[in-house]
Structure 1
Amino acid sequence: MTDSTTAQTSLHVIVVGAGAAGISAARSLQDTGCRVTILEARDRIGGRVQTAYDLAPHPVELGAEYIHGANVVTWDMVRQFNLTTVSDVTKDDFHIYFGDRIHSGDEKSRIPSFHLVDTYEDIAIDWVEQGRPDASVHDVVTKWAELNNADLSPDLQRLVNSRVSVREGGDWARLGVHGMYEQNDNPGGNFRIKEGYTALLEQAVAGLNVTLNTPVQSILWSQDGVQIHSTTGQIFAADRALVTLPLGVLQAQDVRFTPSLPPEKQAAINGLGAGHVDKIAMRFRERFWPQDMAGILTTLQSQIWWRPGWRRDDEAPLLMAIIGGDAALHFESLGADAVPEALDHLSAMFGENACKHFEAGRFISWGTDRWSKTGYSYGLVKGAGLRDQLAQPVDDILFFAGEATHVTHSGTVHGAIESGARAAHEILKPEKLKADI
């Protein structure tokens, strides 16, 4: 018999990526006695969590924005680190830009078939539960509108797609209803961390061994362990590797695996959608939008705008656009012209005061960021079941975590955190079985 603690302490695990999933896994592994090394390509931790402290008196999220739900795992960390939160908007706090004019939250019911903006998910769920084959959200909603004589005008289609592509990560013409059906919503609303999401991860990573500025180039693996080569020329050896690379990086094959990943693993990587979801932060000298407008859903390619300082006493006059799908690709193609076009959109909605009071803008392109190449993942048509396939270990040597591997909570920080904890458990489980023999 071998003492299980000794067996686990002798295990060395390299975690590739210091985002929420990697930090979560590393913490679990180290707390159990493993030796853990995190390799991070960036010059900072956090991955697609990045808080700016230079845009306003308050933190501004350039990446992940919210805690989604009142009872998700992120709250354990919020309480542990004595952080504070502020609740986000309700649907009634959002205005709508439709038909070349702004409608308040109270007026949106006057927009023909506006309910489809909120009920597209229910329509998709009904489709799946009726046993129908996988199809795009666009096709399912269009079919429903035809059968129910709903007015699905071009403007309304743009409005629905703005909501879908930002919320789900991909355009409704590519988003599969079966993959969307796998997802679970978390009741209780959305919340921002007052100190910033980065503050949470900086406390979570304290005491962990993180090597920054170390992009992984290749991973050689066998039953003897792993050898990881970085672009800096360094070589790292360990017993196991946990890969938390974003789906877009895996799809681009920026990291070479030797031997190659099994066909079913590569099929899962290629069969999911790496959603382009970007942000544009716009700072002004003073507020020119209605005081009761927490955000605005639009038919424009800038899609959705909200106030990062909503319900804060120190709120700055700042608007943030969040843009997904083909609209994100459009802004990515503009380069330096992305901010001017976003300002044009604000001028179209609010008039000359947008330009008059404009101070500065920042385009945050997660889709073209070399270390992410995606905002968050989404399920393509016929992509149901692939997240679980992506999450599976390879020969108990290579393990996988990250938001794209979470079947029910992809595209969220709490999903990434949970995936890291799940992967840590998978790494430790074989070792415990060996120790008990």
Structure 2
Amino acid sequence: MLSVDQRGIACIVQAEAATFLNTSQVLFNQTVKTIQYNQNGVTVQTTDGYSLTADHALVTFSAGVLQNTDVVFEPALPDWKREAISSIEMSVYTKIFLQFKEKFWFDTGIGLYADQQKGRYPVWESLDHPCLFPGSGIIFVTVTGDYANYLEQLNKNITQVQLEVMEVLRRMYPGAPDPVDIWLPIWGRAPLFRGSYSSWGAPFVPEYSYNLSAPVNGHLWFAGEATSSKYFG
């Protein structure tokens, strides 16, 4: 899904939260370090040294964060919960945006490229389109899976990313100029996400989906896209 609203999809959640949220009760720019839980409640500690105690806590980290050691649970989560967490996969879905002085590509919304190497810059989409942002000079290409992981490793060398992308684009449009700007988001290597979205691998056991969303000891609750059996991913 592509949101053309310049406020982003987050504006939907922000508008909903504005009806009840008291910002004085929210800690911004804090990263959770440890979650301690027992029969009396939950204590959350952040990397900046803040400590919060409550009767209940709602854990909404991505499955990728839960699979890493970014957040330490004390005591460790039970085996059935950890098994469910480890059974889900976090996929990487990367879009590379290129901006040019002038549009020189297809007039339709989408163009496809076939390469001998599977997954090599196959799907191109134009934002310089009457229904989107005419005159923007922006086109983007989507890559997934192993190739997306490869590109994330190259992210610090944006020049190399541009060379690879332009090699393909010039096969489609010989003589294409260099872009005036290039940008790609990083999801797989971002410590607050560890991936773009969740997917259940094989073999899938329905019990895993239930256990992923199930609470632990009545005080630690879990939510987020991965915990939905219908809307995950």
1:65 aligns with 2
Q: Does 1:250 pair with 2:73?
A: no
Q: Does 1:263 pair with 2:84?
A: no
User: 1:338·1:363 contact (CA, 8 Å) conserved in 2?
Assistant: no
The alpha-carbon deviation at position 225 of structure 1 amounts to 0.8
What is the TM-score when the length of structure 2 is the normalising length? 0.86
User: 1:332·1:338 contact (CA, 8 Å) conserved in 2?
Assistant: no
**Superposition pairs of residues 183-332 of structure 1, within 5 angstroms:** 192-193=4-5, 195-206=7-18, 207-209=21-23, 210-291=26-107, 293-300=108-115, 301-308=120-127, 310=129, 311-312=131-132, 314=134, 316-332=136-152
SS at match of 2:172: helix
Q: Does 1:399 pair with 2:211?
A: no
User: 1:279·1:365 contact (CA, 8 Å) conserved in 2?
Assistant: no
List gaps (5 residues or longer) in structure 2. Answer: none
The alpha-carbon deviation at position 259 of structure 1 amounts to 1.2
SS at match of 1:211: coil
Q: Provide Cα deviations, 1:48-97, integer angstroms capped at 9, x if missing partner.
A: xxxxxxxxxxxxxxxx635xxxxxxxxxxxxxxxxxxxxxxxxxxxxxxx
Q: Read off the aligned partner of 1:299 and give its amino acid letter.
A: A
SS at match of 1:218: strand
Q: In 2, Cα distance between the equivalents of 1:195 and 1:315? A: 20
The alpha-carbon deviation at position 357 of structure 1 amounts to 5.4
User: 2:70·2:191 contact (CA, 8 Å) conserved in 1?
Assistant: no
Q: Does 1:359 pair with 2:175?
A: no
Q: Provide Cα deviations, 1:191-229, integer angstroms capped at 9, x if missing partner.
A: x54653133333233334332211000000112110001
The alpha-carbon deviation at position 321 of structure 1 amounts to 1.9
SS at match of 1:358: coil
List gaps (5 residues or longer) in structure 1. Answer: 1-63, 67-191, 412-437
**Greater helix proportion:** 1
SS at match of 2:209: helix
Structure with larger Rg? 1
The alpha-carbon deviation at position 280 of structure 1 amounts to 1.1
| Distance change >3 Å, CA 339–CA 249, structure 1 → 2 | farther
Q: In 2, Cα distance between the equivalents of 1:240 and 1:223? A: 10
| Distance change >3 Å, CA 328–CA 208, structure 1 → 2 | farther
Match for residue 381 of structure 1 among 202, 205, 220: 202
User: 1:295·1:304 contact (CA, 8 Å) conserved in 2?
Assistant: yes
Q: In 1, Cα distance between the equivalents of 2:146 and 2:135? A: 31
SS at match of 2:184: strand
User: 2:97·2:184 contact (CA, 8 Å) conserved in 1?
Assistant: yes
| Distance change >3 Å, CA 306–CA 341, structure 1 → 2 | same
| Distance change >3 Å, CA 201–CA 346, structure 1 → 2 | farther
| Distance change >3 Å, CA 389–CA 383, structure 1 → 2 | same
SS at match of 1:364: coil
The alpha-carbon deviation at position 304 of structure 1 amounts to 1.9
Q: Does 1:408 pair with 2:227?
A: no
The alpha-carbon deviation at position 297 of structure 1 amounts to 3.2
Aligned residues: 220
What is the TM-score when the length of structure 1 is the normalising length? 0.48
SS at match of 1:389: helix
SS at match of 1:332: helix
Q: In 1, Cα distance between the equivalents of 2:70 and 2:90? A: 15
The alpha-carbon deviation at position 348 of structure 1 amounts to 1.8
What's the Cα RMSD here?
2.0
